[in-house]
Amino acid sequence: MASDKVGSPGLSEQPRNPGRRRAIDWLLGSWFVGVCGAVVYPVTRYLVPPEITEAPTLSVKAGTASTLAPNTARLVPFGQTPAIVVRLKTGELRAFSGTCTHLSCTVQFRPDLEHIWCACHNGHYDLTGRNIAGPPPRPLDAYEANVQDDEIVISRRT
Amino acid sequence: MAGLRTWLAERLPLDAVAAAIAHKTVPQHRHSFWYYLGGMTLFFFGVQVATGILLLLYYRPSAGEAYDSVQFIMTRVPFGWLIRSIHSWSANLMVGAAFIHLFSVLYLKAYRKPRELTWISGMLLLFITMAFGFTGYLLPWNELAYFATRVGTDIPGAIPLIGDPLVTFLRGGPQVTGATLTRFYGIHVAVLPAITTVLLGLHLVLVQYHGMSVPPSVDAEAARAGRPTPVMPFVPHFALRDLFGWTVALALLAGLSAYLPWELGTKADLFAAAPAGIQPEWYFLWTFQALKVVPGHVFGIEGELVAIGALSIGAIGIVLLPFLDPNTARARTVVNWLASVAVVFMVAMTLWALMGGVQ
């Protein structure tokens, strides 16, 4: 290859000014890193969804009290998540977050077991929301359940 | 015609490619059957690409329209039921073929030097395939898919520190909503296909470059007998056998889709309870059952974290297998035993889940 270059002075690999070539390489390299950063940063930020700030749900209406028979329950939206309101055999109303503490499925009331159950991975909660069997690691969050003019109102405990 | 061939040969390495094809051979021995599984997986992938593109023409990726658009495909679009059923069945058969391919390569020790990168690219392709399955499952926006996605995207939440941001990233928000659906759609039809193109290209180039691996036992027999292992020319003999297998697979897909069309289920309701008997796709069943039987806390650590930790260690171990196996006869026996334990565990957990698991 070296012999090819004899007589072709236009193809010398040696720059006339090595210092200047190095400086330009360094500038181009920095330029490229900068451009990469200018692309990567907005793309990374774009991938993370923006937080939508909503007023935290403090209380919701959960339907009429007289239509909720003893030993049954009702699922209602509580903001973005479900809540479960249970009428005990004694007639007492209790409300909990409807999201299972294991892997966030929505729980249901099992009249045959007389407690709360999650179908996804067989998690069981008693009627105080305590995790009593299966994989759930924590109790369900408990809400206040009150009745105002036959309307059930569930609210976050303060 | 000859002129065109000359013109192309001056511009493309036609002769080199033709010579390579003519010289390509496949070893012939009692385990040769397993060489067809990779090609079979590739065939199902091709079916997925073709039917996936067809589904894109009518599918609408939003929480309000997704379910109705799939229903429209299945009830109104001519042969829509067939295209969608083939896409679903082929997805399942592709995962099945990929798993059989994985274990046959493992038992035949085809991951040994110099095929480590083929093995790693193959394992990554398997993970990508499962990601395709997981993201595609949500797209019809039905009840089963909705809860499977709630559970599946909640699992990384157990990872310390990065868990919660990761869940938000996967879901496109704190909950599984229409934002998750659009995100999964983008991942399913653009991100994963792009990654697959690169990995699959690498995997296939490496398979061509190294040729088919001959199992150590076959090599030893050939050495004892003092003659080389016989080979079969790839073109036309092996290629025709491959093609025959693919037509059988196509007939199987058509039969399954016609007689057992894929169900759509009921539309997802974000505030309904998870239905009793809910289960993920069969290839996630063993993981599902493991998550179900691990108690809330194991030695004071959250059970979920223990299960995920064990699965992650297993996954990393199998990816790095070529580097962990010192390639001795003893190590081969150990690998065979470990693989068999893994297979028995996965099959047993799957059967347990199918029989209803713990209720």
Give the contacts of B91 (CB within 8 A, at least 6 positions apart): B44, B48, B132, B133, B136
CB contact under 8 A, B169 and A49: yes
What are B25-73's pLDDT values in tens digits?
A: 999 999 999 999 999 999 999 999 999 999 999 999 999 999 999 999 9
Could you tell me the pTM of the whole model? Answer: 0.86
Is residue A3 over pLDDT 70? no
Is there a single domain that holds both residue A106 and residue A151?
Answer: yes
What are B286-316's pLDDT values in tens digits?
A: 988 888 888 778 888 888 888 888 989 999 9
Is the CB of residue A105 less than 8 Å away from at least one CB of chain B?
Answer: yes
CB contact under 8 A, B272 and A106: yes
Q: Which of A103, A134, A135 sits opposite B154 (nearest CB)?
A: A103
Is there a single domain that holds both residue A63 and residue A137?
Answer: yes
CB contact under 8 A, B271 and A104: no
Domain that holds residue A35: 15-50
CB contact under 8 A, B151 and A103: yes
- Could you tell me if residue A143 is inside a domain? yes
Q: Give CA B217 to chain center in angstroms.
A: 28
Is the CB of residue A97 less than 8 Å away from at least one CB of chain B?
Answer: no
Is there a single domain that holds both residue A134 and residue A110?
Answer: yes
The predicted model gives B337-341 an average pLDDT of: 93
CB contact under 8 A, B272 and A75: yes
Q: How many domains does chain A have?
A: 2
Searching chain B, which residue's CA lies closest to the CA of residue A124? B359
Is the CB of residue A72 less than 8 Å away from at least one CB of chain B?
Answer: no
Residue type, A74: R
Which CATH number characterizes residue B235's domain?
A: 1.20.810.10
Which residues of B fall within a CB distance of 8 Å from A140?
A: none
Is the CB of residue B303 less than 8 Å away from at least one CB of chain A?
Answer: yes
Is the CB of residue B355 less than 8 Å away from at least one CB of chain A?
Answer: no
Q: What number is the ipTM of this complex?
A: 0.71
- Could you tell me if residue B123 is inside a domain? yes
Q: B114 near B210, Cβ under 8 Å? A: yes
Give the contacts of A87 (CB within 8 A, at least 6 positions apart): A68, A69, A70, A71, A72, A73, A93
And the tokens for B219? 């090599």
- Could you tell me if residue B332 is inside a domain? no
Is the CB of residue A77 less than 8 Å away from at least one CB of chain B?
Answer: yes
- Could you tell me if residue A5 is inside a domain? no
Is residue B199 over pLDDT 80? yes
Phi-psi region of A40 (alpha: psi -120 to 50; beta: other; left: phi over 0): alpha
